[in-house]
Amino acid sequence: MKLSSFTDPKYIDLGARVGDKTAVIAAMVKLLGRSRQVGDADAFLRDVLGREELVTTGVGYGVAFPHAKSEAVSSVVFAFARTAGGIDFGALDGKPVRLIFLIGAPKASEPSRVYLNLMARLSFLMKDAGNRERLLSADSVGEVLSLLDSVK
């Protein structure tokens, strides 16, 4: 599975300057709102924040994966943001978050396996401290995409 096929350079922000968790999610939803996959950005934002209210997607080690199945999304897509400063995501380890993947998937009776596979792959990649460091130090969007696709 080539991860870069589920995003676009336009949906990657390596210098996000936003104040809090809701603001950064809203900014990322806005990025995906330009995509053909997200038809109604406001509805998608509500779904993502609703999922976030259930249990935080700040899994620890400075990474979060806000996500939602949404009727506003037509196919699986993700955005990535790296924040200049750490954001309080209510993460499981209490640490601030700097690496954020926002994932959207169509709402269906049976959740898309692509969606679940994508989250599994991204979460696996981000468990590795070396991969996180490479994303934190990446100088370009191309470098980020190459990293996501090259890591086995």
Partner 1 sequence: MTSGVVTVGRTANVAEIASLLRKHRITGVPVVDDDRRLLGVVTHEELLNIFIPHYLSMFDDLAFLDDLGVIEAQTMAEIEPSLFLAEDVMVEDPVAVRPETSIMKVAALLTNKKLVLIPVVDDGGLLVGVINRSDVSCAFAGAPPKEPE
- Name the catalytic one among 21, 67, 98, 134: 67
Name which of 117 and 140 has its Cβ closer to partner 1: 117
Q: Least distance to partner 1 from the beta carbon of 41, Å? A: 21
CA distances from residue 28 to 9, 94, 124 in whole angstroms, order as listed: 13, 22, 22
Q: What length does the chain have? A: 152
Does residue 67 have an active-site annotation? yes
Question: Can residue 65 be called a binding residue for partner 1 (CB under 8 A)?
Answer: yes
**Shortest Cβ distance from residue 64 to partner 1 (Å)?**
9
Q: Pinpoint the alpha helices (H) of the chain.
A: 21-32, 41-54, 113-127, 129-137, 141-150
Task: For residue 43, state whether it binds partner 1 (rule: CB under 8 A).
Answer: no
Of 1, 23, 84, 129, the one binding partner 1 (CB under 8 A) is: 1
Q: Identify the residue whose tokens are 């596979």.
A: 117
Between CA 95 and CA 128 the distance in angstroms is 16
Q: Shortest approach of partner 1 to residue 2 CB, angstroms?
A: 11
Q: Which residues are catalytic?
A: 67
